[in-house]
A and B are shown apart, each in its own frame.
Chain A
Amino acid sequence: MKYIIAFIFGLVLCSPTFAADLSANAGSGGLFALGTLADANNPVEMALAPEYTRLAVVRTRTANRLKAVANSKESNADSIKSALYAATQVQQLADEARHDLDGLAQRKAVDIGFSASLGVVRATIKRAESIYDAQLGSK
């Protein structure tokens, strides 16, 4: 089942590989309805589902770009080293955020402490996305 979900997720990710910066706002133009299918009666799930998704997206895109750089004939040792360093940072930040998200998922209610902790997690994910955008996304 894990791999079926991953396959579906991969299908979604494969088409817009470099559609927009990960840390940017939604693109302009066209009608776009914002919503979620997370359980509305579960505020913890509602709050955490987008963050888990962001984690998987930033990891997947980083892996794709790192592979592209490493396998490119135009790449030299310096460019591979730079991409490798950025990818390692993204992985570390994503792991840190994942650990914190898993902890928050154990909470039963969204209170001030939950919101504060979630803010810290979001900042961590944002840092990972910014590293991707600055060092991998535009290359």
Chain B
Amino acid sequence: MTVDQALQMAEMLVQAARIAYQDDASVVSLLDSLRAADDVARDELARAIEDANKRLTAAE
């Protein structure tokens, strides 16, 4: 699977989730769903940076 295919599949799945959870007020648009995914990805990267900083301190 290429990155482009993964991107397309991600968008399709988010759209499917949006349809499945259409009664959920927190999902009002595809862009909201994608923002939520990016928020989680951002938090994950922030944690990884924090953990790597600790590792670096320990390694030094």
Residues of A at the B interface (CB closer than 8 Å) are: 1-6, 8-9, 11-13, 15-16, 19-22, 24, 26-27, 32, 34-39, 45, 48-50, 52-57, 59-60, 62-64, 66-67, 69-71, 75-77, 80-81, 83-84, 87-88, 90-91, 94-95, 98, 102, 105
Contacts and interface: CB of A to CB of B under 8 A. Distances in A.
B17 to A, nearest CB: 6
Chain A interface secondary structure, helix, strand, loop or mixed?
Answer: helix
Chain B interface secondary structure, helix, strand, loop or mixed?
Answer: helix
A37 B15 contact: yes
Given A13-B10, A52-B34, A84-B49, A2 B17 contact: no
Contacts, number: 175
B3 A16 contact: yes
Given A60-B44, A80-B59, A66 B5 contact: no
A9 B3 contact: no
Contacts of B37: 5-6, 9, 52-53, 56
Contacts of A36: 8, 11
